[in-house]
Structure formats: structure tokens, C-alpha cells
Structure 1
Amino acid sequence: MGAAGSRLEKALGDQFPEGERYFGLENFGNTCYCNSVLQALYFCVPFREQLLEYYSMNKYPREAEENLLTCLAELFSQISLQKKKTGVIAPKRFVQTLKKRNELFRGYMHQDAHEFLNFLLNDLVDTLEKESHPAKSSPETSSPVRLANGQNNGQANGVKHEPLVTWVHKNFQGILTNETRCLRCETVTARDETFLDLSLDIEQNSSITSCLKNFSSMETLNAEDKFFCDKCCSLQEAQKRMKIKKTPHILVIHLKRFKYMDQLKRHKKLCYRVVFPLELKLCGIVEDADSEYSLFAVVVHVGSGPSHGHYVSLVKSHNHWLYFDDENVEIIDESAVQSFFGSAQEYSSNTDHGYILFYERLSANTYI
């Protein structure tokens, strides 16, 4: 990246952010899915700062067992401490550890960036919980209840435990409420569940706001899908909806661009045009309050199908937008982000589509 790095430094000139580093990541054959997500997470500033703080307090000797948390923290530390402003780093130890932890990522097949992100965040949570276990254990309390995607506060051995909320949760975790109303007795059954990201169905020529409204829309349960009402003690027609009860500090939205088609007997990529605004307002969608978010990263899938292609990422850093393509880093105009919305026509030469969106809540320093 020598020449490219020089061009980037020249393009930013005096505007190059003090103390910031823009480094590409080496690709080990098929690791663009990993590199694109890691760049998005690195420029998630509160997450990066807490990870580096964790690393400074928990530096392990080389002979200690490696895990994804320590490897990620070491990688972020290596980037942040570089003397040069730009360059390339090989995330070799992280990738090696990832392949040890999950056989899904061991081959050379095209991998899914969202599956990787989900696995990584949950693995970080697992490690933090295991590390906190000795400190939290007592005769009255056994292991903490895990809070991750789709998991509820619960009980173990008949004793209710306070869930462990890690700094990963504090950044990414929100709460959904699943409400079901019996149409016979009007009783409402509500169940809370946590999430680290939201996966949204998409439609042609739509927007993130409309996708979120569809996510929270009312669904009628009837015929074979009737709901068993505890009050009526029988199956009844009901109305069901999912609401966002509490928004996370970092809202991660996964657009479901890969859909299984029965007639094709395989997954197909939906190249639909889905507008994702730079500023997102969740008016009327969130239960607790209207929340405003600012887009700071996009993981982009490049290619016409789910089993092949490439991943890149767009990142906003200090009011500049950057394009990360493995080892290469370029500055781009903010207006260029719109070119990744998708295709308005079914058949288009444009195959670069926003896949995972990272939004940070504005004017909110409080965590869940």
C-alpha cells in the first residue's frame, strides 16, 4: 500500500486526524469477509477504546491460551500504535485463531460477513463471561446468565440471577418485545429478548425506515398458526408484533440480501435498492423514545450471488469517508455512499450493495 498510502496522506494533507491510523488488512485467500467487518469494528470508536483498555489491563504472556478477544485486542493495539499513518497489517494470528474456534471459517469457500460478525460478538461475550465467573461466583450465585442474540433473562437451579452485562453488550445490545394479543379475551402476552443486531427483510425500492416498520408490523395468527392463550386455555386467533423496546448505543442492521428460492432450490442474492440514510430517526418505531443515529460504517457485498463475490467496507472517520478493500484504503466523497444502495432494476451491472450497516446513537453517552 506504499503508493496508495502516500496518496491517502496527500489527499487528507493537514486534515489527517491527529493520532488516527488508516491501515489496510492483508487477505489470506478468502478473508475479505473478516477484514471488512474488522475495519467497521475498529472505527466503532467506543468499542475500540474499551477493547484497548481491556488489552492494557489484561496482557497475557505468549504461552497463554489465545482466544479471539485477546487476538482482536492485540490487532487493534498494533494498528493504533503504528508510527506510520497508513500501511498494511496482516491479521494472521486473529485469522488462525478464528479457524481454530470455528470450522466454518477453515476452508477457502466464500464466507458470510454477517455470520462472522455474529459469531465474533458472541464469542467475545462468552470469553468475558468466563473471565468474570470466578469473581462473580458465590454460594448464592452460580454462573451468570448469558445475554446475547435472542436470549432472555432467566433462572438456573431455581434461582434468578442478575445477567452479566459486558462492555460488548453496552455497545451493541438492545431489547425487543414480542407482544401477542388474544383476539378473544384481549389478554396481551409480552416476552422480552435481547439482540446484538437486527436482521431485516428487504423489498425493492425501499428504505431502512420502511424495512423497520415492516419488522414491527402487526401479524395475524389464525388457521394453523393459532396462538395458545393461557387465559382461554385453548388455541385462539391472535395479533402478534415485534417492537424495539430499548435501542442500543451501536445499532447494527443486517439486510437480508440472500434468500432461499424454492423454485431454484438455492439461495439468490436480492440486489434491491434499499436506501440507508446517513442520519436515521426511529420515530414511531421505538417503544421507549425516538432515537437518532448516525451512519459510520457499511460492509458491502460485491457480486451477483451468495456463494461467490467479495466484501469491502465504507467507514466514516473524523468527518471523512474511507473505502477499505483489504490492503487498499482510499478516501471517497460522502455522496459516493449512495452508489451502494442497490439496483433499481432487476438486472444491473452494479453488484456493490450495502449488506451490514453500523449506526451510532447521537447525543447519548448512556449505555443499557
Structure 2
Amino acid sequence: MPAISIIVPIFNMEHLMRRCIDSLLAQTFTDYELLLIDDGSKDGSWSICQEYAHKDARIGIYHKENGGLSDARNYGLSKAIGKYTIFADPDDWVSPEGLDRLYATAEREQADMTMCDLYREDEYSRHYVCQRPQSLQAEDVLKELFANIQGFTVNKLIRRDVYTRFGISYPKGIYGCEDQYTMAAILLHDIKIAYEPVAFYHYVYNSASLTRHYDECTYEVDVHVLEMFRTLLEGNAVQPIAVRSKEDAVFARAFWNGRGYYSSTAFKQRFVSFRDRISSLNEMTVVKGCMAAACRGWYQPAIRMVFLLFRVKRLIKCVKSHIS
């Protein structure tokens, strides 16, 4: 039995997945299985999976009908045999060090979940993101999950039997917070948590995420997710914090992705009540100003201004990177 099962869900990633897989194979820690779950890709992803499976016996490949990210993760968990599990996304990559330290800490502390830091980056910059919780008690980490701790599973080594012990799986039919919901479900239980101060996972920011499709169905799914969190955390002291966080997420997704759907009047009608809470959002001051303007009936000019500012910012970062 391998010590760790690394699960990589893949869907139409032929142009990016090699960097991810190569970086995983370059890990200084070697006692793992690498499960590549092709979720019904229509490009050459499956051929690349087959190519790598012939190169390394630790690689297991699976081809399934498209079911979405959560379905692919659940499928990977059903095939995993490692003592611990961790996920990776095919458009990200990892540094050689990290898994060895995570595993050593998990074993030393006999932890159900071992957390670490990570990097956020784009093609021009990289930022170290500390994920050290103030407390290692599950109920305290649950509170921080809706504040300063990311819900990612890519920086958390989790004992595989945690999922089966508590009957937890990734929720289907939603987009964008599958990890956070699953982590909240796990943290509702009195698990042993450890932290290792190392960052090896590089979460690659994709500018295309600012132009994702948005329509009324998107809004309804976001509201459904809000209710899922409300139900999951019913009776728990963290529920009001989580509900407010997910309400903010509904608003933020509409602001960032809704410019092809909302008129200025329609945005104001739906989100005018958010005017008084924008100051508490984790956004740059200029973005908060544009959000406030949007809630007052100026959404279209406000969002155009934000995108213009981001293009200028990326241009400046590009120039700086070439100069350095």
C-alpha cells in the first residue's frame, strides 16, 4: 500500500497537464500512487495519460464519462489505496519538496489532516500564502475556513479513511466551492489536525476566470450553495459566519462574471442591499468603490473600469518582469 494517493482530475487539459504530472513525478517523496482521472475529455488528454502510465508504474489511469470535478474526485477516492490522499489540479504544479515534510508531520502527529502553505501565481508574479491556523482544534479551523484559511484540498494531506469514516464525498452539481464544502463537512468532526510550514503547491491564477459564463442559472446555483452551507452547519456556532461569507460570494461572482448578463438597473435591483457591507469585503479599495457604484445603478461602467484597471495592472507586471 502506498503512503499517499495523489488524485488529479482531468478534463480537456492537454496543453497544461504535462507540467503538472512532470512536477509530481519529480517529488523527493516517492512512496505514492498517482491517479489520473480523465473525466470524459474531448481533446488529447487521455492519450497523454496513457503515455505517462507506460513510463511509471506508480501511475494509474482511469477514463470515465464526464461528471464534473466532484464526480471525478469521488471516483479517484474510490480507486485510491494510499493511507493518505491529496489532490492536484492539472493546470497547477508543485515544487519537488513538500510531500515528504507533510507525510513526516502527519505520521509524527498521527494527524487526520495535515495542512501547509501554498503559492498563488500568474505568469508574472508569485505570492507566498501562509495558511497557518490560529488553533489546531477542528472547531476553530472550521471558523477560520470562512475567514483566512483557504478551503483547498491541494494543500491538505488527509487520511483516506476520514472520507469513509464520516461518509463524506464531494458535492455534485455545484462549481467553485466543492473543496470548501467538503472541508467544512470534515471539520464538523473532532479530527486531529497538524500544520507544516512549507509551501510546495503552485496555484496558478488564470485570467480567464474573470470572464466565466454567468446567467440566471449561475445565480440560482450560487444561492443553492448558500443554502447547502446553511443546512450543513445548522446548529453550529459558525453558521452565521459561513452564511454571510457565502452571501458575499454570491455577490462577488455576480459582480466579476455578470457583465454579459446584468444591466446596470438589474444589478442594482438585485444587489442594492449589499451597499452597506462592501467595506468588509476582501477586495482592493478601488474595487470596493466600483462595487459600491454598481449597487447604486452604475454596474456596467463600474465593471468596465475594473477590467481596464486589471489590464493595466497586468501590463505593468509584464513590463517589470521583462525589465528584471
Question: What's the TM-score, normalizing by structure 2?
Answer: 0.27
Q: Give 1 or 2: higher helix fraction.
A: 2
Which structure features the higher share of strand residues? 1
Work out which of the two has the higher radius of gyration on C-alpha atoms and give 1 or 2: 1
TM-score by length of 1: 0.25
